[in-house]
Amino acid sequence: MATVLIAGNTALFAKETLERIAEDNIVVLAGSEAGYDGQSRGIHVYETTPMEESFAQLFDVYAFNAVWYVSGYADGGNGTFGEVQMLERALNESSIARLDKFVLLSTIDTQNYTNRYTSTEGLAEKDYPDSRSFNAAQMEALGSFVAEKTGMKVITLWLPYVADTVNDGNFLGRIFRSMYEKKPVTFPHTPDARADFLSAQDLADLLLQITDETDDETMSFFAVSGFSCTYGQLENALKACEPTLQVSYENRSDDIQWPEYPVQLRRRYGFVPLISVLENVGEYYDTFRSGKTEKRDSLFRRFFQWVSGNVFKYIELILMFLLTEFIAQYTSDSVYFRFVDVRLAFIVIMGTIYGMRMGLLASVLEGLVLVVQYTRIGVSGTLLFYNIENWIPFVVYLMAGSISGYIRDKSTGQIEFSEKEYDLLRGKYLFLLKVYHGAIQNKGDFKRQILGFKDSFGKIFDAVQKLDSELPQSVFLKGLEVMEEIMENHTVAIYTVDSWQRFARLVACSGSLLRQSAVSMRLEDYSRMFETVKGGSVWRNADLLPDMPMYACGVFQGGDVVMIVLLWEASPEQYGTHYTNIFQILCGLVQTSFLRAMEYEQLRHDQMTVSGTRAVTAERLAQILAVQEEMRQAGAADYTLLRFEEKDPMRISEDLTGMVRASDTLGQGSDGCMYLLLTQITEHNFGVVGQRLEEKGIRYQIVEKVGA
């Protein structure tokens, strides 16, 4: 699982593409308009740019594996303001964080140039057809400069057009928008010029492959799709979707040396593009059109809400004006209303509620009413203008509207300023909160990875706990389980070695080897392996010798090998030194547990054996049988249990002298009878043991359990 930071023109990645990347990775999206509005646990969105301080804080929280910087010139774009400075800041922050890899998604148009040679020195200079290609090339040069100075790997991808089924912000989406709005479409080059569309899905897969690769270096690649076409073919495909489409060409020069297939990317990263955009352009347009219809309905609803909210106050102004005039006319003869000016109250109310603009508008309306009334009583316009006393009502109305409106606008301005200040602080708080939650989530993810990784401290501690046992047989079983789990290998076999260092006896093995592994091994036949093991090293079958295990490691007691752990098979990715070290560590844990169990047996030998014999007590025999039965059920080992007619421990112990292996157990059962536990002995190989017992006159019976 990788953690990647996507910065720059993040609109190149649509919602579906980001969620596809985040299925097995953590995506941090940093842009002024990140554009992602989905709900995905693996995607963290921050509205910040490299020029802001908060952008640098992301490197303190997340351990990025790579940064993907999308140039504004990618996918036919015209760049963004201050983009070179933003790229420089992103590169610097990445180098400060000791990031190993920086991927710059540029445009293929930086390769659209001709070589121009100077007359004096004969040096070649790149002659670009326009400033757009030149500026994009300068960004690539900046990336190469930082890579050379800091040692950070900067991978530059020369992208053609990028196509996505639902992204209307890319080149193909802009064409679809023109088609949908019945506008003409203009292509930059000639109908015979080559065009290429890399699907967003293939681009995402390529970026993940680059991020995961460890053995690469600073390089630039053509990220072509392998399904190139001409602009003329693209025109025909688009007209099949919209027959009325009008297409024109700018006929710019095209000097790009296109590769037919991304051979370099395939050799370096194993990239294989799979999607032909031209064949699916009809499906892309249908998806765009359906999404555009939904967006148009949403825009219409928002416009209606805006209009209704702004028109309402003017409707209220007119209704209040009419009501005021009705009251003023109706109460004109009332003595009480000679002290109350309804019109002035109307102006103050409108100014107080809606501000200076509505207050002045209400003043103008009432002023027009005054003009009409002056006209009715015979006051001409000239008299009205030159008689200053007639101005008093107009001045009072305008002052009332402006002052009340000003007070309202001032208080509203203060509230808006406080809200903006609050929004600014809230935005910083939410950013820090997002970063905090991202850090908490990363902590949890990393903790699960550490504890769940096969050679982590958590796994090693769990292995130590499992191997903590006083029974050597239990150490065999738990050691086998630990080996299979951590080594991810199911061809494990554990052998005990006799005191003469000549034979090894099988005590436990993986279920797949139970019927195949030799019960006994002559170490002389494996002399090359055994010599390495005796020297304290791990045997690695580097020469792939036949009938030899791939790995072997010894368990020692007093300088002698007492046990050998074998891995008979190993996959190619398990041939490294790292795997060998893990194997040696686990064998060391098994050795510690086994020796501790042996010391425990030696210390309690008198309590665990019948006096004067080598037979174990009934309690100890029951413990050993329980472990052997567990090993049988797990498919790790097999055994046969014999019950003798002779019940005297001393006599049966003397009769079996020289006949019982070190891995076998003689014990007294809870029923008073004597039992012999033969490990790794089944009906198929019991014949030799039975023949020896019969030759010595020892009468026995094969049983399933004690007391049966």
Query: What pLDDT digit, counting tens, does each position of 509-540 carry?
Result: 888 787 777 888 889 889 899 999 998 899 98
Domain CATH code at residue 522: 3.30.450.40
Q: Does 469 share its domain with 618?
A: no
In this structure, the number of other CB atoms found within 10 A of the CB of residue 94 comes to 25
Judge residue 211's burial from the number of C-beta atoms within 10 Å of its C-beta, 0-12 exposed, 13-18 middle, 19 or more buried. Answer: buried
Dihedral sign for Cα atoms in the order 430, 436, 438, 440 = negative
- Domain contains 246: no
CA–CA gap between residue 168 and residue 172 (Å, rounded)? 7
CA–CA gap between residue 270 and residue 387 (Å, rounded)? 93
pLDDT for position 408: 86
Instruction: Annotate 118-139 with DSSP letters as a single string.
Output: -TTT--EEEE-SSHHHHHHHHH
Which of 559, 574, 603 is the endpoint of a domain? 603
C-alpha distances out from residue 189 to 193, 243, 251, 462, Å? 6, 21, 4, 65
Structure-block tokens of residue 235: 């025109």
Q: Does 466 share its domain with 386?
A: no
Inter-residue contact 3 to 19 (CB < 8 Å): no
The per-residue pLDDT for range 23-49, each reduced to its tens digit, is 888 888 888 765 566 666 778 888 888
Query: How confident is residue 297, by pLDDT bands cut at 50, 70 and 90?
Result: very low
- Domain contains 486: yes
C-alpha distances out from residue 308 to 93, 126, 312, 657, Å? 48, 58, 6, 106
CA–CA gap between residue 601 and residue 603 (Å, rounded)? 5
Helices (H) and strands (E) in the chain, counts: 21, 25
Which of 603, 626, 657 is the endpoint of a domain? 603
CA–CA gap between residue 617 and residue 367 (Å, rounded)? 119
End-to-end CA separation in angstroms for the chain: 56
- Domain contains 240: no
Inter-residue contact 118 to 83 (CB < 8 Å): no
- Domain contains 183: no
- Domain contains 186: no
Q: Does 145 share its domain with 77?
A: yes
pLDDT for position 219: 92
Structure-block tokens of residue 63: 């351990």
Q: Does 341 share its domain with 418?
A: yes
The per-residue pLDDT for range 219-270, each reduced to its tens digit, is 999 999 888 888 898 888 888 888 888 889 988 888 888 888 899 998 888 8
Q: Does 211 share its domain with 274?
A: yes
Tokens 């007070």, residue? 407
For residue 616, list its beta bridge partners: 609, 667
Indicate the angle between helix axes 577-603 and 457-466, nearest 10 degrees.
30
Torsion of CA 230, 232, 236, 242, to 10 degrees: 110
CA–CA gap between residue 31 and residue 50 (Å, rounded)? 8
Q: Does 589 share its domain with 630?
A: no
Confidence check: pLDDT of 145 > 50: yes
pLDDT for position 103: 94
CA–CA gap between residue 448 and residue 438 (Å, rounded)? 15
Inter-residue contact 66 to 102 (CB < 8 Å): yes
Task: Specify the range with the lowest mean pLDDT, choosing from 331-340, 680-689, 691-700.
Answer: 331-340
Dihedral sign for Cα atoms in the order 285, 283, 41, 70 = negative
Domain CATH code at residue 132: 3.40.50.720
Confidence check: pLDDT of 381 > 90: no
Can you tell me whether residue 409 is helix, strand or coil?
A: helix
The per-residue pLDDT for range 399-428, each reduced to its tens digit, is 888 888 888 888 888 888 888 887 777 767
Inter-residue contact 28 to 67 (CB < 8 Å): no
Q: Does 386 share its domain with 489?
A: no
Q: Does 559 share its domain with 633?
A: no
- Domain contains 303: no
- Domain of 80, in residue numbers: 3-167+197-228+254-278
C-alpha distances out from residue 636 to 513, 538, 554, Å? 8, 23, 20
Q: Does 591 share its domain with 629?
A: no
Q: Which residues contact 182 (CB under 8 A, 6 or more apart)?
A: 244
- Domain contains 142: yes
Q: Does 122 share its domain with 152?
A: yes
Q: Does 64 share its domain with 205?
A: yes
Cα 429 versus chain centre, distance: 25
- Closest among 327, 479, 370, 353 to 409, alpha carbons compared: 353
In this structure, the number of other CB atoms found within 10 A of the CB of residue 557 comes to 14
Domain CATH code at residue 663: 3.30.70.2880
Q: What would you measure as the largest C-alpha separation in the chain, in angstroms?
A: 152
Confidence check: pLDDT of 457 > 60: no
Indicate the angle between helix axes 171-180 and 281-330, nearest 10 degrees.
60
CA–CA gap between residue 511 and residue 517 (Å, rounded)? 10
In this structure, the number of other CB atoms found within 10 A of the CB of residue 215 comes to 5
Structure-block tokens of residue 640: 């046969």
The per-residue pLDDT for range 634-677, each reduced to its tens digit, is 787 888 888 888 888 888 888 887 777 777 888 888 888 888 88
- Domain contains 180: no
The per-residue pLDDT for range 298-325, each reduced to its tens digit, is 445 555 555 555 677 778 888 888 888 8
Inter-residue contact 405 to 356 (CB < 8 Å): yes
The per-residue pLDDT for range 460-509, each reduced to its tens digit, is 666 666 777 777 888 888 888 888 888 888 889 999 888 888 888 888 88
Q: Does 60 share its domain with 148?
A: yes
Confidence check: pLDDT of 595 > 50: yes
The per-residue pLDDT for range 532-571, each reduced to its tens digit, is 999 889 998 888 888 889 999 998 988 889 899 999 988 8
Which of 603, 635, 662 is the endpoint of a domain? 603
- Closest among 297, 298, 273 to 222, alpha carbons compared: 273
pLDDT for position 580: 86
Number of domains the chain contains: 4
Amino acid at residue number 525: D
Query: How confident is residue 294, by pLDDT bands cut at 50, 70 and 90?
Result: very low
Query: How confident is residue 102, by pLDDT bands cut at 50, 70 and 90?
Result: very high
CA–CA gap between residue 617 and residue 376 (Å, rounded)? 131
